[in-house]
Chains A and B, each alone.
Chain A
Amino acid sequence: MVAPTTPETKVVFKRPESFTDVTTHYCPGCTHGVAHRLVAEVIDEMGLREKTIGVAPVGCSVFAYKYFNMDFVEAAHGRAPAMATGIKRVLPQKTIFTYQGDGDLASIGMAEIMHAAARGENISVIFINNAIFGMTGGQMAPTTLPGMKTTSSPFGRDVELTGFPIRMSEMLATMDGAGYIVRRSLHDAKHIRQSKKAIRMAIETQERGLGFSMVELLSSCPTNWKVAPDEALKFIAESMIPVFPLGDYKVRPELAGLRV
């Protein structure tokens, strides 16, 4: 339908400038798209598009570079924090963020993320936790919930054999080099708004030189969870949040008074 264009009409919501016009490859209802949009909105609002360099991961968000209208590089699996370090150290005035899934960040890239945080690397990390390997078709991730069925834990994740989900935010918060570590969720509009504020805070942390920042976002994977998109959002609220509690795990005191 065509919207009225009378002078009385105001646009209250539109695609951010930092987004390209490319349709994402994500499955219908996948909240990767929400996370992408929030990052683009924050970069728009802060006026940082022309000084930002994004680092894309390997995983479902491997094509993230196509959707952001800004300089981008594509890292090897799990190595985005190392690549971001390499960039940030020679271009310290630029805004560098990585966008990584749980396979990328919490499995193969565990060393790179931990040490980037330990070094207090002044970069921002958007961490998408959907408790599964999406791109390869739904295998068990380090974040898969106990009992959860995946193609590589077909009888449900047996903690006796495969161990327990890893809580990255809690672990990274122990690092003195970390400036801002929080976990948020993308399962409804209220939580999406909180997620956006957190992304803003993470970039503010970087702009202020306050060290490593990460926003962990509980995200849905309707296709590999084998549920409808709205059911997937319920799964986040009811099953994921109890295992991955939302909260602020590390906020440098310098950030305490900041309102975004």
Chain B
Amino acid sequence: MPAKGWIEVDDLHCKGCALCISACPQDVIALDMERLTPKGYHPAHLIAEGCTGCALCAIICPDAAITVYREVPVHTKKAPASA
């Protein structure tokens, strides 16, 4: 089962350069054309399920605007002996 992840894009830092969009292997990021950041950019956001938390978007992001989260499967916590 693929890992499940999320990204959080900081409106303060995102400049809508879209480099994260082309870096995303899952094609689940797009610019939010409904919204403007305080600096007047359309920020990047997740548009679909499928983020694996691979962080390629955050690595290419020139503004350190992306925080990446990944879900750690619960069963590994419940069965530490198997780890």
Residue numbers of A with Cβ under 8 A of B are 1-4, 7-16, 19, 21, 23-24, 26-34, 36-37, 188-189, 192-193, 222, 228-230, 233
Contacts and interface: CB of A to CB of B under 8 A. Distances in A.
Contacts of A33: 61-64
A230 B21 CA distance: 10
A15 B39 CA distance: 19
B5 to A, nearest CB: 7
Contacts of A4: 6, 69, 71
Interface of B: 5-6, 8, 10, 12-13, 15-19, 22-23, 39, 41, 45-46, 53, 55-56, 58-64, 66-74, 77
Contacts of B72: 8-10
B17 A8 contact: no
B-side interface mostly = mixed
A29 B12 contact: no
Given A15-B64, A192-B60, A10 B70 contact: yes
Given A10-B72, A29-B18, A33-B63, 18 more contacts: A1-B8, A1-B46, A4-B6, A4-B71, A9-B6, A9-B69, A10-B69, A13-B55, A13-B68, A14-B67, A15-B10, A15-B64, A23-B13, A24-B13, A34-B61, A189-B60, A193-B59, A230-B22
A66 to B, nearest CB: 13
A104 to B, nearest CB: 20
B17 A12 contact: no
B71 A9 contact: yes
Q: Which 3 pairs from chain A and chain B are nearest by CB?
A: A33-B62, A29-B17, A28-B17
A46 B61 CA distance: 22
